[in-house]
Amino acid sequence: MKQNQKEQRVEQLVKQHVRDIPDFPKPGIVFKDITPLLSDPNVFRSIIEVFASRYKGEKLSAIVGIESRGFLFGAALAHSLGIAFVPIRKKGKLPYETIEVSYDLEYGSAVVEMHTDALCKGDRVVIIDDLLATGGTAEAACKLVKKSGGHIHECAFVIELAFLDGRKNILDAASFAIASYS
């Protein structure tokens, strides 16, 4: 989908404010540090406005945020849209009854959870995170939403590392990213 002018302007702002950290967390990785864009309230507000504009009128039930940076954008977006925010967390971090999904990482595996009562059958949601890389965590989040009976309207990201082709791992869900790195 072609970006509108506001999305193009915000993509430029994101790319201007994201800081590359070479060899973090391990050699050969270039980490995309979002803290500079979080420290600029105008940039952060612009990001939330792009997402809110995209999802306004979509009859969503909730925004589902992936731990931990997805919480930052997800809670603000849910507030902006006047809908619920649902956290997906690493195993053992949620206090109530949970459903869980395990997924593979580059070296090993991980488990994410969501409260059993977080979504109802038929709830329409957007899953949000700061960055789409290989898509493993986003895919696990999609599985949790589907396991709970929810419907994924779209997966949303501030940044996509398109060269890692993570979109192919997101179950039958559409995805959108404000800024893409090829």
| Catalytic positions, written as ranges | 69, 106
Dist. CA 163–CA 134, nearest whole Å: 9
Residue 121 is encoded by which pair of tokens?
């059958």
